[in-house]
Amino acid sequence: MNDREILIDRVRKLLAKAESTDNPNEAEAFSAKAAELIAAHRLDPAHVRDSLDRGTVGLRRIPIGRGAYVRARLALLSAVAHAHDCEVVFETSGTGTVAVVAGFESDLVITELLFESLHVQAAGQMAATKMATPAATQRWRRSFLFGYARRVGELLSESRAHAASRPAPAGPPTLFDESSTVPDVLARAERVKEYAKVAFGPVRAARAVRPAHVAGWNDGHRAAGSADIGRTRLGGRKALGRGRNT
């Protein structure tokens, strides 16, 4: 396997361990390790330079369904994508909503992998909880997913900061010494932004998101470290809005 395939395999194994444990602390630790592994890989100088020299920037379309949970799913996808310097817009039609993600190919692969896995984990936990009425259940689940997305974004940011703060290993110049490639990292992100401006075309702002239910949001935020991979996704209903949106 090449380096990217090895990374993805290790991430999947860590998420599988998170799934197999009933201990929330262990699940959080395995999820954090997966995020840290990806962060460290992305901050590796050789990977950054290779991406700038030979890497391909492109688009990936990721369906996010229809119904009341669309914007919360988008929040989860955006949390993962932004942590990997990808840009996201979405478009809706009668057949549902699709997120359009711009980034380096290696980051697009990881972004889609983590989003799919984390979404299934969240959906499994959401499906296990029912409130007094169907409407209340829907409000709680939607809020849960927003809180879950926020914690995922925090987890990835913390892991990236931790990876960047580790001492440089002995050997050739690395990201963290006088030959720092931090400007290269910034150039890499800027290259994606410039590509996205052209590739996305005209973009308009989406309508504001309805406020989340506090209890559901807090439950989702706390639950984000645990995993339940393989559960069926929640079904959607009517799509929200039309056209391409930020």
- Reported as type and span, the H/E element at residue 245 is strand 243-245
Q: What is the pLDDT of residue 212?
A: 86
Helices (H), the chain: 3-20, 24-43, 45-54, 70-83, 105-127, 134-165, 182-200, 214-223
Q: For residue range 37-74, list pLDDT tens digits in order.
A: 777 776 666 666 666 666 789 999 999 988 889 999 99
Query: What average pLDDT does the chain have?
Result: 77
Residue 176, pLDDT above cutoff 80: no
In this prediction, residue 175 has a pLDDT band, given cuts at 50, 70 and 90, of very low
Q: Which pair of structure tokens corresponds to residue 210?
A: 């309805």
Residue 133's nearest CA partner among 141, 124, 125 is 141
In this prediction, residue 227 has a pLDDT band, given cuts at 50, 70 and 90, of very low
Q: 61: Cβ–Cβ under 8 A, 6 or more apart, which residues?
A: 98, 99, 100, 101
Q: Which residues pair with 204 in a beta bridge?
A: 245
CA 28 → CA 21, 123, 228, distances in Å? Answer: 10, 17, 12
Kindly tell me the sign of the dihedral angle through the C-alpha atoms of 129, 132, 133, 135. negative
Q: For residue range 110-147, list pLDDT tens digits in order.
A: 888 888 878 877 887 888 889 999 999 999 999 999 99
Cα separation, 200 vs 71, in Å, equals 19
Q: What is the pLDDT of residue 141?
A: 93
Tell me the backbone φ, ψ of residue 69, rounded to 5 degrees: -100, 5
Cα separation, 213 vs 215, in Å, equals 6
How much is the pTM?
0.73
Q: What is the pLDDT of residue 155?
A: 80
Least confident of 8-22, 38-52, 231-245: 231-245
Q: What is the pLDDT of residue 2?
A: 65
